Amino acid sequence: MPTSPRPRSRIQQRNRELILDAALEVFSLHGFRGATLDQIAEVAGLSKPNLLYYFGSKEVVHQALLTGLLDTWLDPLRAMNPAGEPMREIMGYVRRKLDLARDFPRESRLFANEVLQGAPRMRDAIEGDLRSLVHDKAAVLSRWMDEGRIARVDPVHLIFSIWALTQHYADFDVQVRAVLGPGHDPFAEAERFLETLYARLLTPVP
């Protein structure tokens, strides 16, 4: 009869969290190919053998990060309510994506680096859960268009545009802040701009 795995001790859980946080820092800066276990161990403040006790390879650490990341990335779109008021739901999604870009910039860069490399460790999830969710929500957007509640545009490309216009503020944070200069709040300004943009794009013409 198989036995259930032993629960992790507090120290083991703390060390796993230290390693994953350090790995997120290293992978988001250097990408998968440029990152090394030595770099991750140094940032975590642990020895490399200690790191390997918890994660057997760089690939295992990276996969653990990506597995947790996908749910974080899908949750804002999942929260779009088919029974809600269309513009409120769409702008709620935009705000949630901006919040992710502001609060989780390293995770955004990790995801972007993985996709830029051809998504070798996430292709199944992208072609499965992510694709299914996008098409489900595109069907909701199409219904709102059919009902005349928002203007007709390509619903999938509408979702792509929201990704591009929100994640940019995480993935190109240095460029955004350099161009804006001091005294600007990029995310507050982006929210106001995107509210205007999508209101003009999606308000039905009488």
pTM for this prediction: 0.82
For range 33-41, the mean pLDDT: 92
Do residues 51 and 75 both lie within one domain?
no
The answer on 174 and 92 residing in a single domain is yes
Would the CA dihedral through 55, 61, 67, 68 be positive or negative? positive
Q: What is the mean pLDDT of the chain?
A: 90
Structure tokens given for 145: 């268009």
pLDDT of residue 115: 85
Whether residue 93 is found in the same domain as residue 168? yes
Q: Are residues 80 and 33 in the same domain?
A: no
- Name the domain count of the chain: 2
Say which residue, 3 or 103, is predicted with more confidence: 103
Tokens of 106: 């390293």
Q: Choose the final residue of a domain: 56, 83, 100.
A: 56
The rounded percent of the chain whose pLDDT value lies above 70 is: 96
Do 33 and 92 belong together in one domain? no
User: Dmax of the chain from CA atoms?
Assistant: 68
Over 90: is that where the pLDDT of 194 sits?
yes
**Same domain flag for 42 and 99:** no
Same domain, 83 and 159: yes
Q: What pLDDT shows up at residue 124? A: 85
Look at 32 and 203; give whichever has higher pLDDT. Answer: 203
CATH number, domain of 173, equals: 1.10.357.10
Are 82 and 15 contained in the same domain?
Answer: no
Residue that finishes a domain, picked among 9, 25, 56:
56
Q: What is the mean pLDDT of residues 12-40?
A: 90
Q: Mean pLDDT, to the nearest integer, of 128-156?
A: 97
Tell me how far CA of residue 90 lies from CA of 48, 77, 85, 131, 157, in angstroms.
Answer: 46, 9, 9, 18, 13
Give the count of beta carbons closer than 10 Å to the beta carbon of residue 169.
22
Shared domain for 15 and 109, answered yes or no, is no
Q: What is the mean pLDDT of residues 89-108?
A: 94
Instruction: Grade residue 93 by pLDDT with cuts at 50, 70 and 90.
Output: very high
Q: Give the residue from 41, 162, 169, 171 showing the smallest Cα distance to 106.
A: 171
Judge whether residue 68 has pLDDT over 90.
no
Residue 2: is its pLDDT beyond 50? no
pLDDT confidence bin for 4, thresholds 50/70/90: very low
- Tell me the residue range of the domain where 10 lies: 1-56
Q: Are 21 and 3 in contact (CB under 8 A)?
A: no
Angle between helices 155-171 and 131-146 (to 10 degrees): 120
Instruction: Give me the CATH number covering residue 25.
Output: 1.10.10.60
165 and 89 in a common domain: yes
- CA distances for 145 relative to 76, 89, 131, angstroms: 21, 14, 21
17 and 38 belong to one structural domain? yes
